[in-house]
């Protein structure tokens, strides 16, 4: 497949990147299935660390210092600041919750996740065929797209506020995971602003969830369905 022999360091970087990608996909599946809120937060932190690891590996591979900066920024904002913000803006007892009922039960959710992952891999094929051959993109794009869909599934299937939010954040992480391989030269300012935006989002959502909790006594935001057409309750 390769026309020129790759130097061993490049090959090793690609191997490690593939490994990081596999584990990233696993964390996306885990977010769909794990019941405990604390577990979800830890899984998200792990996912962010893996994202940073991939950024550093791709940075070494493609020789762009942009990606090194992205990796560092990522660790600081997502792995450190977001859990801190979540802890600050929500009551402690929210973190001790477990999600007893979800919209689908876990095996069904996992099977749906599987179908979505297969779809993502299917869709990546034609896209990768159009661009010049790039082994890093061949790993990052399908996994990023799958992570995007799985994050969406998490946001739809979960009822509790924190796992729902983490599902949304993991969608954005997955989009970034794919984007790092597709657009490594994207100006750094864009990536800094994305990180800032995510932080503001988490802060805002934390405030909102606290308000919901104080108003309605529950954080099962996915179960709020009073606004609709038809006879008012």
Partner 1 sequence: MGRTLLFNLLQVAVVLVFAPLAAGVLARLKEMVQSKRGPSVFQPYRDLRKLFHKDEVVSDQTSWIFRFAPYLVFVTPLLVTLLIPVLTDYPLFFAFMGDMLGGGFILALGGFFATLAAVDTGNPFGPVGASRTRMVGFLAEPVFMIVFFTVSFVAGSTIPYIVQQTWVTPLANFFAPSHVLLLLAFLMLILAEGGRIPVDNPTGHFELAMIDESKTLEYSGRGMALMKWGGHMKLFVLMCIYLNVLVAPWGLAHERTLAAVLIAIPLILFKILCFLLVLVVIESSLAKLRLFRITEFLGAAFVGAVVAMISRLFAF
Partner 2 sequence: MNLLVIPAIPLLAALLSAVAPGRRGAPAVTLAGAAATLALAVWAAARVAAEGPLISIAGWVEIDGLSALVLLVVAFVAAMAALFSWGYLAAHDYAPRRVRRYGLHFNLFVFALVLVPVLAEPALVWMAVEFTAVFSVLLVGFDDTPEALEAAWKYIALMFMGAAIALLGIFVLFWAQAAAGGGHYSWAALREIAPQLPPGLVVAAFLFILVGFGTKAGLVPMHTWLPDAHSQAPSPVCALLSGVKTVTVLYTILRLVPLLPAEDLGGWMQAIGLVSVGTAAFLLLQVRDYKRLFAYSTVEHMGIIVVAVGFGTQLGAYGAMLQIVSHAVTKSLCFFAAGSALLLVGTREIASVRGLLRTSPLVGTSLLFGALAIGGAPPMAVFLSEFAIIRAGLARGAYLTTALLVGFIAVAFAGILLHVNRMVFGAPPAAETTAPPHALPFTCALTLVLGAIPVLVLGVYQPVPLHALMTQAAAALAPVVVP
Contacting residues toward partner 2, per CB under 8 A:
123, 126-127, 129-132, 137, 144-145, 148, 151-152, 155, 161, 164, 168, 171-172, 174-176, 178-179, 182-183, 185-187, 189-190, 193-194, 197, 200-201, 204-205, 207-208, 211-212, 215-216, 221, 224-227, 229-230, 232
Instruction: Tell me how far apart the alpha carbons of residues 230 and 26 are, in angstroms, rounded to a whole number.
Output: 42
Q: Of how many residues is the chain composed?
A: 233
Taking the complex as a whole, how short is the minimal distance between the CB of residue 123 and partner 2, in angstroms? 8
CB of 99 to partner 2, least distance (A): 16
Select the binding partner of residue 118 from partner 1, partner 2, none (C-beta < 5 to 8 A, by kind). partner 1
Report d(CA 137, CA 128) in Å as an integer.
Answer: 8
Residue among 79 and 143 whose Cβ is closer to partner 1: 143
Cα 146 to the chain's mean position, in Å?
Answer: 10
14 binding partner (options partner 1, partner 2, none; Cβ < 5 to 8 Å by kind): partner 1
Its sign, for the CA torsion 27, 194, 163, 117, is negative
DSSP assignment letter at 98: B
Give the residue among 88, 99, 97 at the shortest CA–CA distance from 210: 88
Strand segments, DSSP code E, in the chain are none
Q: Pick from partner 2, partner 1, none: which does 152 bind, CB < 5 to 8 A by kind?
A: partner 2
Instruction: Rank residues 19 and 186 by Cβ distance to partner 1 and give the closer one.
Output: 19
Q: Which residues contact 198 (CB under 8 A, 6 or more apart)?
A: 77, 78, 82, 169, 172
Residues that bind partner 1 in the complex, under the rule CB under 8 A: 11, 14-16, 18-19, 21-23, 25-26, 29, 33, 106-107, 110-111, 113-114, 117-118, 121-122, 124-125, 128, 135, 137-139, 141-143
In the beta sheet, which residues pair with residue 98? 36
Minimum distance from residue 105 beta carbon to partner 2 (Å):
22
Q: Which distant-in-sequence residues (6+ apart) come within 8 Å of 208 by Cβ?
A: none
State which residue, 25 or 90, has the beta carbon closest to partner 1. 25
């Amino acid at each position: 497949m390769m026309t020129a022999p790759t130097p061993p360091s490049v090959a090793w970087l690609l191997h490690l990147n593939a490994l990081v990608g596999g584990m990233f996909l696993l964390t996306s599946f885990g977010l769909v299935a794990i019941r405990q809120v604390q577990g979800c937060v830890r899984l998200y932190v792990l996912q962010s660390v893996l994202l940073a690891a991939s950024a550093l590996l791709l940075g070494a591979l493609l020789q762009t210092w942009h990606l090194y900066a992205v990796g560092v920024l990522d660790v600081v904002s997502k792995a450190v600041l977001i859990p801190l913000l979540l802890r600050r803006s929500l009551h402690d007892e929210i973190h001790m919750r477990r999600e007893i009922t979800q919209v689908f039960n876990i095996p069904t959710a996992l099977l749906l996740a599987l179908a979505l992952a297969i779809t993502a891999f299917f869709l990546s094929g034609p896209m990768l065929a159009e661009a010049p051959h790039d082994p890093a993109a061949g790993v990052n794009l399908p996994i990023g797209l799958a992570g995007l869909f799985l994050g969406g599934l998490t946001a739809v299937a979960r009822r509790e506020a924190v796992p729902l939010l983490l599902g949304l954040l993991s969608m954005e992480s997955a989009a970034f995971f794919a984007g790092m391989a597709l657009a490594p030269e994207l100006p750094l300012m864009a990536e800094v602003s994305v990180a800032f935006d995510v932080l503001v989002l988490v802060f805002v959502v934390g405030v909102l969830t606290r308000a919901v909790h104080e108003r309605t006594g529950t954080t099962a935001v996915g179960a709020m369905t009073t606004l609709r057409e038809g006879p008012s309750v």
